[in-house]
Copies of this chain bind each other. A is one copy, B any other.
Amino acid sequence: MGSQTMENAAEGGPLTREPLDRAQADAFAPMFKALGDPVRLRLLSMIASARGGEVCVCDLTGEFHLTGPTISHHLKVLREAGLVDSDRRGTWVYYRMIPAALAVMGTLLETGIPV
């Protein structure tokens, strides 16, 4: 879904230009929903701001008073929404953000109005 979402964004442009059609709204809503949780927002910010562009899951879990499976669930939601990617190397899984996904969301929110 990731690349299709981005094509829709490129076609659709900011929310202020014209109303989204149903397909566009269906494509984008899960991305916003994924960020609609404080733990996931913090996880994404930890991944997005990580030195070297990626972070080991072992460095994420210690920041929260949550169980490993709960953190894993939130990371899965971010991954399924196309906002982060991961790969396993040895014992650990490493996460990195997908800049293009954040960019299409940001583009959608552009108002062109100085604030």
A residues contacting B by CB (< 8 A) are 14-22, 25-26, 28-30, 32-42, 44-46, 48-49, 63, 97, 99-100, 102-103, 105-106, 109-111, 113, 115
Nearest CB on B from A102, distance (A): 5
Contact assessment for B41 and A25 in the assembled complex, using a CB-CB cutoff below 8 Å: yes
Cα of A102 to Cα of B36 in the assembled complex, Å: 14
When distances are taken between beta carbons in the complex, the residues of chain B under 8 Å from A100 are: 115
Cα of A84 to Cα of B97 in the assembled complex, Å: 29
Cα of A51 to Cα of B47 in the assembled complex, Å: 39
Residue in B closest to A36 when the chains form the complex, CB atoms:
B33
Q: With A32-B32, A111-B99 in contact, is A25–B48 under 8 Å at CB?
A: no
Contact assessment for A29 and B36 in the assembled complex, using a CB-CB cutoff below 8 Å: yes
